[in-house]
């Protein structure tokens, strides 16, 4: 199991993380069969403090699925940034994770993007598995 980011995808995720720093960014991943062809930036609507949380509202989620259909692609998952924290999922990430989706996390330290990782929820919801992340 792995995720391949086509050219420009990783740069778009990093740029979004830098743009919103010191707040978290979030967005949707589109593609097919483990290949991310495009991203779409989404508003971080959390009311719990955007430096440490992100939230995609149900209406924005619905729009994200509709956009996938219009593109002839699948919604493969979501990305978000961890400002000044490692690119590793938190307990909060785990508690709110959906199966099937890839969760790409980019660490942004002092405004500079660093590690990028991808994770998938285990079937029993007990933990994430890190998946191999490659760039075209």
Partner 1 sequence: MPNTIHIPTPLRPFTDKKESVEVSGATVGELLKDLTTRHDGLKKHLYTDDGRLRNFVNVYLNDEDIRYLQKEQTPVKPGDSLSIVPSVAGGAISPTPQAEAEGGLS
**What phi-psi label fits residue 8: left (phi over 0), alpha (psi between -120 and 50 degrees) or beta?**
left
Stretch in the footprint of partner 1 (CB under 8 A) among 2-10, 11-19, 31-39, 50-58 = 50-58
Contact flag: residue 113 with partner 1 (CB under 8 A): no
**Which helix (DSSP H) or strand (DSSP E) does residue 33 occupy?**
none
What SS3 state is found at 88? coil
State which of positions 60-99 bind partner 1 (CB under 8 A). Answer: 61-62, 65, 68, 74-75, 78, 80, 82-86, 88-94, 96-99
For 74, the 3-state DSSP assignment is strand
Question: 């707040």: which residue's tokens?
Answer: 23
Q: Which residues bind partner 1 (CB under 8 A)?
A: 24, 26, 46, 48, 52-58, 61-62, 65, 68, 74-75, 78, 80, 82-86, 88-94, 96-101, 103, 123-125, 127-128
């Amino acid at each position: 199991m792995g995720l391949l980011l086509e050219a420009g995808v990783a740069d778009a995720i990093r740029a979004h993380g830098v743009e919103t720093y010191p707040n978290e960014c979030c967005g949707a991943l589109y593609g097919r069969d483990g290949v991310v062809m495009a991203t779409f930036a989404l508003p971080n609507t959390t009311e719990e403090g955007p430096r440490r949380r992100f939230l995609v509202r149900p209406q924005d989620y619905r729009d994200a699925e509709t956009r996938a259909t219009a593109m002839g692609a699948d919604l493969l998952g979501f990305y978000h940034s961890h400002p000044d924290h490692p690119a590793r999922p938190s307990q909060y990430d785990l508690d709110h994770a959906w199966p099937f989706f890839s969760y790409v996390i980019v660490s942004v330290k002092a405004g500079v993007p660093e590690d990028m990782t991808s994770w998938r929820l285990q079937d029993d919801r007990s933990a994430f598995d890190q998946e191999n992340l490659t760039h075209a």
